[in-house]
């Protein structure tokens, strides 16, 4: 088992994992990621996305995709974890924890003040796992999102 930074040769495997995650989250119909999009986001002129993979016996079986955010209250960057996923057959082997430990180290090493993510309220296994690591739910906050026509209407 190893955790390492994502490489261009990992893109197809990561796209597959993202689709597995979308299926698990009951939202496969909302996932439209392509290898070209992911390559541009991770490895383009101005990367906006970063990632790590969990590898077992040379096969990518998990990933953490993240980007920098900024806390105006703390005056420091943090990491927002967009996707954390380990394929079901490899869960329970410490890969998810190892990926999160890697991101926590990234925060500590770079002076980032927060590591944040969202979890679906019905995903009890993930919630229990996150709480076991010391993560605190932000129950008083509600996420809002604009997409599709509502975004277009507001932006034009």
- Over residues 123-135, the pLDDT tens digits come to 999 999 999 999 9
Active site residues: 130
Confidence of residue 145 (pLDDT cuts 50, 70, 90): very high
Tens of pLDDT along 70-83? 999 999 999 999 99
Average pLDDT over residues 3-10: 98
Tens of pLDDT along 91-115? 999 999 999 999 999 999 999 999 9
Cα–Cα distance measured from residue 140 to residue 103, given in angstroms and rounded to the nearest whole number: 25
Contact 52, 17 (CB under 8 A): no
> What is the pLDDT of the chain when averaged over all its residues?
97
Phi then psi dihedrals of residue 53, to 5 deg: -125, 150
DSSP designation for 126: H
Triad 88, 92, 98: Cα angle to 5°? 100
Cα–Cα distance measured from residue 16 to residue 147, given in angstroms and rounded to the nearest whole number: 23
Q: Say what the pTM is.
A: 0.94
Tens of pLDDT along 18-55? 999 999 999 999 999 999 999 999 999 999 999 999 99
Please enumerate in sequence order all residues whose Cβ is within 8 A of that of 131, keeping only pairs 6 or more positions apart, or say none: 137
Confidence of residue 137 (pLDDT cuts 50, 70, 90): very high
DSSP designation for 93: S
Please enumerate in sequence order all residues whose Cβ is within 8 A of that of 118, keeping only pairs 6 or more positions apart, or say none: 143
Cα–Cα distance measured from residue 60 to residue 3, given in angstroms and rounded to the nearest whole number: 10
């Amino acid at each position: 088992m190893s955790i390492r930074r994502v490489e261009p040769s990992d893109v197809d495997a990561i796209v597959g994992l993202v689709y597995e995650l979308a299926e698990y989250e009951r939202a496969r119909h909302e996932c439209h990621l392509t290898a070209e999009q992911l390559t541009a986001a991770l490895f383009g002129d101005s990367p906006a996305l970063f990632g790590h993979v969990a590898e077992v016996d040379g096969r990518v079986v998990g990933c953490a995709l993240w980007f920098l955010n900024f806390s105006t209250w703390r005056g420091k960057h943090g990491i927002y974890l967009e996707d954390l996923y380990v394929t079901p057959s490899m869960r329970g082997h410490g890969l998810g924890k190892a990926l999160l430990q890697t991101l926590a180290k990234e925060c500590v090493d770079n002076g980032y003040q927060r590591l944040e993510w969202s979890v679906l309220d019905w995903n009890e296994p993930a919630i229990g796992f996150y709480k076991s690591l010391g993560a605190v739910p932000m129950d008083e906050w509600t996420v809002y999102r604009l997409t599709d026509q509502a975004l277009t209407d507001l932006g034009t």
